[in-house]
Structure 1
Amino acid sequence: MRHLGEGIQQLVGVPPHLFNAYLVDGVLVDACTPAASRRLLRQLKGAEVNAHLVTHAHPDHFGSSHAVCEALDLPLWAGAGDVEAIETATPVTGPGRIPALMSKMKMPPPHPVARALREGDEVGSFTVLDVPGHSPGHIALWREKDRTLICGDVFYRLPKVSGPWAITTADMERNRESMRRLAALRPRLVLFGHGRPLRDDPDRLTRAAG
């Protein structure tokens, strides 16, 4: 694992930075695709892990959630608006034919959510922010003292900082509002669901948010 900041480690992905997962104050944040479970468990061996949090109910974020929670006996936490999607493995799709076809693909195993997270809840040293759009119950994590933001897929960095792709997003306009909200925080460190960390360049979020 790679140390990124106080209480934050990034698990190594294959390829690096394409599907990200983080260990934050003893909480595993996201669990990549279903194929990642062995890699995640190998890296977490010997670490203190008390819970697993999913930023949003898409299969590249809760793909290995069931396997990891079962193996480590962890409670699963998620945004209140995404609980049903995770517990039934039926993510909400955006409009159009392609998202509808994608929704028929094989999904990761469902898993019960032990804690439905809402705006203002605390997760370790971080505060939960409701930032819907990419999914109905998408959440981000914000730490004011050092201005660290874990933004899930409200933004991508592949490699350019941008909004998420329309075909993967339930409501692009709501996500744009969430982008503006997070950009206004002026974070010093941004951790993405997809892409490398961004340090000391909050203007890139502002430009992407329009």
Structure 2
Amino acid sequence: MSARTLLRTSSMIALTLVLITALGAMTAAHAASSQASANHKYVPSGDGKQKSVTTVVTWYGYNDNSGATENQHGSADIAYPKSDGYPTIHNHATEGTGTYNDPVTFAAPNKDLKTTFPIGSIIYVPLVKKYFVMEDQCGDTDPQGCQNGSNHADLWMGPAKEMNGTKLDDCEGNATPNSAVKVTINPSSTLSVDTTTMYTTGNKCTIHLY
């Protein structure tokens, strides 16, 4: 073996070791993240028992989410970020895959915080077969908005960035049921889940309603 071949072989071995080390670190980080999510304890609702409750369901996304004030729209801010010490998962509104360990953000009005939807609680929405975690305040005072119904869940969809306003609005509107639906509070972790993205970065409405 020539000196040049030996040098090239040694370089390839060194590069392989670097890649293996980097891959190992990434795998460990992902495992730690998944484990942390899997170990998350959601805040119980009511008596902590699983049951269905009749709920008015609406949708919101980045374009129509309030920022520092109710009139300032275009934001992924949430009222109860994990970084501020709340028993939540995210620091900004997030469309997760909708599994028990990767739920989507949802908002509720103040009137529901101490009863049906406390901060950090989780629900399962059969309408889309996804889990959602309560991390945001639904501040719309319109009687047909967040104050509509004895229970109200405003569900997040889409990326945490500006999207096509017309397409996102249409997707939110078409996904909003005409009357209250059943959602499950204190759900078990084994309910059927549709992990399909609801609204894509390419401005496509891909939500599946059941």
TM-score (norm 1): 0.24
More relative contact order, 1 or 2 (CA 8 Å, 6+ apart): 2
Structure with bigger gyration radius:
2
More strand, by proportion = 1
